Structure formats: structure tokens, C-alpha cells
Amino acid sequence: MPEAGWGAVHVVVMLLMPLLLAAGLVWAERRLLALWQDRYGPNRVGPFGLLQVLADAVKLLFKEDWIPPRADGATFVAAPAIIVTCVLAGFAVIPLAPGFVVIDLNVGLLFLLATSSLAVYSVALAGWSSGSKYSLLGGLRAAAQMLGYEVFMGISLMGVVMMAGSFNISRIVEAQQGLWYVGPQFVGFLVFFVAGLAETRRLPFDLPEADSELVAGYHTEYSGMKFGLFFIGEYMGITLMSSLITLLYFGGWLGPWLPPVLWFFIKTFIFIGLFILIRASLPRVRYDQLMGLGWKIMLPLGLVNLMVTAAVLLAKG
Amino acid sequence: MNVAFYIAGGVAVVSTFMVITRAHAIHALLYLVVSFLSLALVFYVLGAPFVAALQVIIYAGAIMVLFLFAVMLLNLGREARAQEREWLRLRAWIGPSILAAVLLAELVYLAAGGGAGAAGLPAPASIIVGPKEVGASLFGTYLLGVELASILLLAGLVGAHRLTREEE
């Protein structure tokens, strides 16, 4: 197949894969949560309850698409689109296998950080434009939380960038031939994982939604498919984070016997499972604890990791 | 390449114009974000991908979110918008328009090939300014500026800490 043909295939795969995975994850998460909490979960519609997702999607599509009269119309509609666009754009630089990537950008990692920093607008604007106090509180929390955790997310990634000597994600994976970066960059991995949890607004860091205090936080006023977009955006965010952890710290597609793409998906699914397991087992932290953890523990830890990595690399020459 | 440059530049100009003319603070902020994004694209087309990424991460993704955060807390209502419209009357445009016209005339003169500066400019995307070059110039040529900026930020940090400290 000619070059342009393969490019088109990559684009279609990278558009469909996150969407289908997100739909599958809705079901997988509910089943896994049920398993870990000793109950059944959705098991009525279709085999193993697999068609539950379809039923939910139909329900969301047919719900009344309501915009509150006090809401800021245009911004209210744009907010859910922003998160889906940003996350999908992020997938453009994710390589599934050697050469299987939409754009092999030289500053790929920075591109990912840029898209994830733009995703903040979605939740902040959703909270503000709804014209409701619960939404506004959720939006404010989301803005402060994601802004704070983005800082050391970037810093924790710099250790990997220094070791590989490149911002190009494919090159970072190839640099892990001998040793996965989770070994030498274990602290960086921990910091990045915590930041990833906060960036995707997952338990124990789901303060912007916090259903026990803020109804549903920033998406309280959303209904129908607009709510559905936030929902899908969250699951695609988890997929993106998991594939990033796989690529940067666990050797991406590298592995014996099996084809590279399979290795990539196996590792990614393990981390998606870990995200769900954490949701099933940890309670929500308090807001001041969340900010304290970010600025007082994670940021210094990330900086120390950066300095030690730089010193070791310099000493080795 | 050139077409992308002119489209991005055009979007930047139009969105910046909208920033000034919007009476609604949050809508103005959103236009400013669009303006920054198109500016990032301009950087990218000119062969500076690293600077383009930083433009999005720092300006569009961090500083503007802080602005948004502050404006969201202010809860500006209809009165604020009316006042803003009041300020944007035709008379207020005279001074800035004259100043901008002078700059525009200068730009047109330079772009038309007048002056020595234009000839020496590198053609778009003839050199790629990567992370290494940006880092080297920040911690080499412009080290003093970077250090001064960091001291300024430190002073701001200390001030913020003092302001928010709980009184014993």
C-alpha cells in the first residue's frame, strides 16, 4: 500500500480505537468494580451484560438535550467538545508499534502535555457556564487541581526525556531496548502515575465531581449526549494515560515472542485495570490534602528525581 | 507552508481584535486563548516546534487558566458588561488607532523590502530551532535575564505566602 494509504489507515485506527475502548471500558469498569466489591454488576443485557453499553448509549441519545436558561449557551455547548477533541488529538502521537503512528512528531511528548493542559478548559468552562453554584465549585476545583498536578507531571517526564535524549515517543521506546525506564526512573514513574490519576480526575482525586458534596460537580447541569461526551472523555483520558505509562516507563511495544501491537495492548490494559482497582479500593481525599500532596510532596520529589537523574547522566558522561 | 502561516496569522489577528472588542470577560479570554494557539502555529511553521509547544503549554494552558480562574471567581454580571461597553465607545479608539497605524506603516515599509533588516531575515523554516538551541540560549546568552526573572518570581512567591498566612 502507498505511504498515504497507510497514513489514512493509522488515522482511522487511532480515531476508532479510543472511542471503542472507551465504550468497552464503561462496561469493564462496572464489571470489575462489582467483582472487587463482591456483587454482580450489569449482567442482564446480552452475554455478560456486554450490550449494557449499547442500551446506555441509546438512552443518552434519546434524552432531552437541555440547556439551563441561566447558562452561557455557546460556552456550555463547546465545553464537552473541548475535552474529547483534546484527548483524541493526544492519540495522534501515540505509537502502537514501530512506525504505526499518525504523526511521528519530534516534540511528541510536549504535544501530549499541551493537549492535556488544554483539556482543563473543558471542565473549568463547563463549571462556569452552567450557571449553578455546584458546577462552579467543581470547575474551580478542577482548574486548581489540574493546573497544580500538571506542573510536576511535566517535571517527572523530564527524567525519561533526559535518559532517552529525545522528546520523540518512538525514540524513547527504542531507547528502552535493554532496560525499561521503570527501573532507573521509579520515582519519576510514581510521580507521573499520581499526576495521571489527578489529570483524569479519577478517585481518589475526583474532587471536581465529588458526588457526595457537589451533586456531580462541573457536569451537574449536563444531560443527554453532552454528558455522554464528558463520560467518554474521561475513559479516553484513562486509556491515553495508561498507554503513556506503557510507552514511557514499560518499554511500549517491546517484548519477546508476541507481535509488538499485542504487547502494547497487554501492558496498557494492565494499567487501565490498575486505575479501576484504585477506584475500587481508595476513598476520596480532602481538598486541602490533595493540594498539599501535590505541592509539598510530589513537586519536591519530582525535582529531586530530576536533579539526581541529571547528576548521574553527567557523571556517566 | 506559507499558506498555513498566513491562515494562522490571520486567525491570530482576528481573534486578538475580538479580545479587545468583547464586553464579556470570559468570552474575551477564550478569544485570547485562540489567539495564542494560532501564534503557536505561526511559531511551528517558522521552524520552532519547541517554542510552539511551550507557547501552548505555558501561555494557553497555564497562564490563561489562571486568568479564567480569577474571572470565574469574580462572577461578573450584566452591570460589568454594560460598564465595559461604556468604555469601548468610539472616542476611546482614537489614540490606540493612531499608535497602531504608525506600527502598521512601519511593518509595511519593512515587508516591502525597505531597510536593511528585512533582507537579513532567514527564510521561513530554513532552520529548525529545537529544544537544545532554546535551552542553550536561555542558559547561555540570556542567563542574566533568566536569573532576574526567577528572582522576580521568587519575590512574588514570598509575597503570596505572606498574604495568605494565617495570623496567630
One-character DSSP codes across chain B: -HHHHHHHHHHHHHHHHHHHH-SSHHHHHHHHHHHHHHHHHHHHHTT-HHHHHHIIIIIIIIIHHHHHHHHHHHT--HHHHHHHHHHT-GGGGHHHHHHHHHHHHHHHHHHTT-SSHHHHSPPTTSS---HHHHHHHHTTTTHHHHHHHHHHHHHHHHHHHHHHPPP-
Mean pLDDT (whole number) for A171-178: 84
Q: What are phi and psi of B76, to 5 degrees?
A: -70, 130
In this structure, are residues A10 and A101 in contact, taking their beta carbons and an 8 Å threshold? yes
Position A96 scores a pLDDT of 83
Q: Is the pLDDT of residue B157 over 60?
A: yes
Mean pLDDT (whole number) for B76-88: 72
Nearest CA of chain A to the CA of B104: how many Å?
A: 32
Which residue of B lies nearest to A136 if distances are taken between CA atoms?
B72
Report d(CA A93, CA A116) in Å as an integer.
Answer: 13
The model's confidence at residue B108, banded by pLDDT at 50, 70 and 90, is confident
Q: Is the pLDDT of residue B115 over 60?
A: no
Position B151 scores a pLDDT of 94
C-alpha cell at B77: 454580571
The model's confidence at residue B114, banded by pLDDT at 50, 70 and 90, is low
pLDDT digits over B142-155, tens only? 899 899 999 999 99
In a domain, A126, yes or no: yes
The CA–CA distances, whole Å, from B87 to A47, B80, B84, B92 equal 65, 11, 5, 7
In this structure, are residues A284 and A206 in contact, taking their beta carbons and an 8 Å threshold? yes
Position B44 scores a pLDDT of 84
In a domain, A299, yes or no: yes
Mean pLDDT (whole number) for A278-305: 86
Q: Is the pLDDT of residue B119 over 50?
A: no
**End-to-end Cα distance, chain A:** 44
Position B76 scores a pLDDT of 67
In a domain, A37, yes or no: no
Mean pLDDT (whole number) for B121-141: 74
Contact B50 A110 (CB under 8 A): yes
Q: Which residues of A touch B81 (CB under 8 A)?
A: none
| Of B53, B130, B131, Cβ closest to residue A114 | B53
DSSP 3-state assignment of A76?
A: helix
Taking Cα atoms as reference points, which of A120, A140, A119, A123 lies closest to residue A76? A123
Q: Which residues of B touch A128 (CB under 8 A)?
A: 26, 68, 72
In a domain, A55, yes or no: no
For cell 443485557, name the residue: A45
In a domain, A100, yes or no: yes
Q: What's the number of CA atoms in the CB half-sphere (13 Å) around residue B106?
A: 7
Q: Which residues of B touch A150 (CB under 8 A)?
A: 61-62
Mean pLDDT (whole number) for A220-229: 82
Contact B69 A124 (CB under 8 A): yes
In a domain, A24, yes or no: no
Q: What share of chain B has pLDDT > 70, as a percent? A: 88
Of A188-192, B81-85, B163-167, least confident by mean pLDDT is: B81-85
Report d(CA B80, CA A70) in Å as an integer.
Answer: 17
* Torsion over CA: A43, A49, A53, A55 (sign): negative
Please tell me the total count of domains within chain A.
1
Mean pLDDT (whole number) for A77-89: 87
User: What's the ipTM?
Assistant: 0.76
Of A85-94, A304-313, B127-136, least confident by mean pLDDT is: B127-136
pLDDT digits over A84-137, tens only? 888 888 888 888 878 777 888 788 888 888 888 888 888 888 888 887 888 888
Q: What average pLDDT does the structure give for chain B?
A: 80
The residues near A51 (Cβ < 8 Å, ≥ 6 apart) are A45
C-alpha cell at A185: 526512573
In this structure, are residues A136 and A128 in contact, taking their beta carbons and an 8 Å threshold? yes
In a domain, A250, yes or no: yes
| Of B50, B60, B131, Cβ closest to residue A118 | B60
Structural domain that includes position A192: 63-316
Q: Is the pLDDT of residue B89 over 80?
A: no
pLDDT digits over A206-217, tens only? 777 777 777 777
Contact A113 B50 (CB under 8 A): no
Position B120 scores a pLDDT of 46
Position B155 scores a pLDDT of 94
In a domain, A180, yes or no: yes
